[in-house]
Amino acid sequence: MKKKDGLYWLNLTKLTLPVKVLFTGYLLISSIGLFAAAVLILLTHGMYDGKFGISIEDIVYSYYGNRTGSKLEKALHGSMKPYAIEEERKILIEWVRKGAPEEELDRKIMPIIKKRCASCHSQMPELDITKRKVLKKFTEIDKGISIKRLTLLSHVHLFGMSFLFMLIGFVFSFSVGINRFLKSVLIATPFVFQFIDILAWWLTKFFPWFAWFVIVGGFGYFLASGIMILISLYQLWFMEEKEQNAWLVD
């Protein structure tokens, strides 16, 4: 970048007010979106082992599955635990472990399913366990996420997250006081960790010991994005002229 009067001619501190407002709005909304994504992960993946918070077991159960039991058992011990009382969960789990006998389905199982699950699951055809065919799939051994759904999630995240990181990096590229090489590394970091994260999903689907890389990938791009957002917001609104000169790096 060219310099003018000892400062870069174009940087976050020198932008016009409308552009500052535009960049700030995007960064703030992106921050809320990233925070909401983290909360969603805690409330979904983070409950697969029945305990709040992300663990290696949560990741393994999500992608590889808990192959000591059925999908229904995993849900009843994890994310669906609050939606049924202890006695009802016990009845459902015992029914699955007995081989899900048909003769008990209408008499013991369906009344609980319709009472506790229908209001939400009936809105999602693939998860509508009020239908016998769908319920039967949930009584099978839990082998984690399906290849079809994993492909869908990979597709959505690769396009959506890369676009998010590109725009955060674009705003951050106008920051001052950061060595060009370090700035370039920081801009590239979310993309690298996103690739690690999604590649680890697929590897964990078949080899559970790769679950660590899912946590590393997610943590890496959250951290790098957060650093870029905070630096950008600081320089947009709070950086003074004396500090600009002190931070100036060619």
Q: Provide the residue ranges of all domains of the chain, joining segments of one domain with +.
A: 8-45+145-247, 69-138
pLDDT of residue 9: 54
Over residues 26-45, the pLDDT tens digits come to 999 999 999 999 988 887 77
The three-class DSSP label of residue 70 is: strand
Amino acid of residue 113: I
DSSP, res 79: T
pLDDT of residue 1: 43
**Cβ atoms 213, 200 nearer than 8 A:** yes
Amino acid of residue 159: F
* CA 88 – CA 108 distance, rounded (Å): 10
pLDDT of residue 42: 84
Concatenate the DSSP letters of all residues of 57-86 into one string.
HHHHHHHT--TTSBHHHHHHHTTTGGGS-H
DSSP, res 80: T
Share of the chain above pLDDT 90, in %: 44
pLDDT bracket for residue 50 (50, 70, 90): low
pTM over 0.85: no
Query: Which of 139-148, 184-193, 221-230 is the least confident region?
Result: 139-148
Calculate the average pLDDT of the chain: 85
pLDDT of residue 4: 45
CA 176 to chain centre: 31
Rounded to an integer, the average pLDDT of 13-38 is: 94
**Cβ atoms 163, 222 nearer than 8 A:** no
User: Across 65-79, 120-134, 162-176, which has the greatest mean pLDDT?
Assistant: 162-176
133 or 236: which leads in pLDDT: 236
Rounded to an integer, the average pLDDT of 41-68 is: 80
Concatenate the DSSP letters of all residues of 89-133 into one string.
HHHHHHHHHTT--GGGIIIIIHHHHHHHTHHHHTT-GGG-TTSHH
99 or 218: which leads in pLDDT: 218
CA dihedral over 97, 101, 102, 107, signed as positive or negative: negative
pLDDT of residue 219: 94
163 or 92: which leads in pLDDT: 163
The CA angle 86-88-92, to the nearest 5 degrees, is 115
pLDDT of residue 184: 96
170 or 141: which leads in pLDDT: 170
**Cβ atoms 198, 205 nearer than 8 A:** no
pLDDT of residue 247: 54
pLDDT of residue 7: 47
Give the residue from 222, 217, 202 showing the smallest Cα distance to 155: 202
Residue showing tokens 């590897």: 203
pLDDT bracket for residue 5 (50, 70, 90): very low
234 or 245: which leads in pLDDT: 234
1 or 124: which leads in pLDDT: 124
* CA 21 – CA 171 distance, rounded (Å): 12
Cβ-Cβ contacts under 8 Å for 187 (sequence gap 6 or more): 169, 172, 173, 228
pLDDT of residue 162: 95
Rounded to an integer, the average pLDDT of 200-212 is: 95
Neighbours of 177 (CB within 10 A): 18
CA dihedral over 190, 196, 199, 200, signed as positive or negative: negative
